[in-house]
Amino acid sequence: MTLLTVAGLHVRSPEGRDLVSDVSFTLDAGERLGLIGESGSGKSMTALAIMGLTPPGMTVSGSVVFDAPGLDRSLDRRLDRIEVVGAGERRLTSLRGRATSTVFQEPLTALDPLMRVGRQVAEPLRRRRGLRGRALRTAVTAALEEVRLADPERIARAYPHEISGGQRQRVAIAMAIACDPALLIADEPTTALDVTVQADVLALLDGLVEERGMALLFISHDLAVVSRIAERVIVLKDGAAVESGSAGEVVNAPRHPYTRDLVGSARRLDGALDGALDGAIDWRTP
């Protein structure tokens, strides 16, 4: 079943500059898609447009449709099929958390610095699942345990600045998946972490997406990372899609000069990249 359909998506800045130009793709339920490109290629702006979170002043056109049966019916109308572009905030609020949720690059800025971690994890559980009291506290502990945080009671009492970067990102993941979204958007979720912690967080995301059967839109500038976790890849340059295909096709037989440059740069920067990519592709091969 097609979960997300993006058709002719354009995002223009207040100054009239095209940040995303005619981007189109579909994402099936349970599928993993990677968006890759350098800084300024339009990856994150595409994700914000999908969530209906583009900054004020941006002009968004085209179509972004979620088709997710079982969404919140709080507006007393069918929300199985939602057009994001042009939708009001009330309708978009019904979408976020249940149909889709996002893990951002820097958890220290994504989390409220003045609110204890447990309270932040509790909010989506309270709002979307209606939990209160002991049931809510139990659900918060379970959510922190699911993202493999040791001593979840201590983490729940802490403020974001009192825990490590890797722990903060795990908290952000716990919040994002609390309402069992059909689609998880991970926007550069490991860029701010050191290499060892990156590997742990990637493994965690991989396992959670697999266990819950969620679709994943994974955004990164790192070709090795994307190829490890995504089945299909779209390459963006200057806001436009220049190449798409399976992870193996894009890595091993890039067609566009820009993609070839990305692959070549990755191989020069990391002599171990070949093994990492081969392992990812083999893992996806029946």
Domain boundaries of the chain, sorted by first residue: 2-99+215-284, 100-180
- Which CATH architecture best describes the domain 2-99+215-284? 3-Layer(aba) Sandwich (3.40)
Q: Report how far residue 192's alpha carbon sits from residue 182's, in angstroms, rounded to the nearest whole number.
A: 26
Q: How far apart are CA 236 and CA 219, in angstroms?
A: 11
pLDDT values of the chain reduced to their tens digit, one per residue, 286 residues: 889 999 999 999 999 999 999 999 999 999 999 999 999 999 999 999 999 999 999 999 999 999 865 554 443 344 468 899 999 888 888 788 778 899 988 877 889 999 999 999 998 888 877 889 999 999 999 999 999 999 999 999 999 999 998 999 999 999 999 888 899 999 988 877 777 788 888 889 999 999 999 999 999 988 878 888 999 999 999 999 999 999 989 988 999 999 998 888 766 655 543 444 444 433 333 3
Q: Which residues contact 1 (CB under 8 A, 6 or more apart)?
A: 28, 29, 67
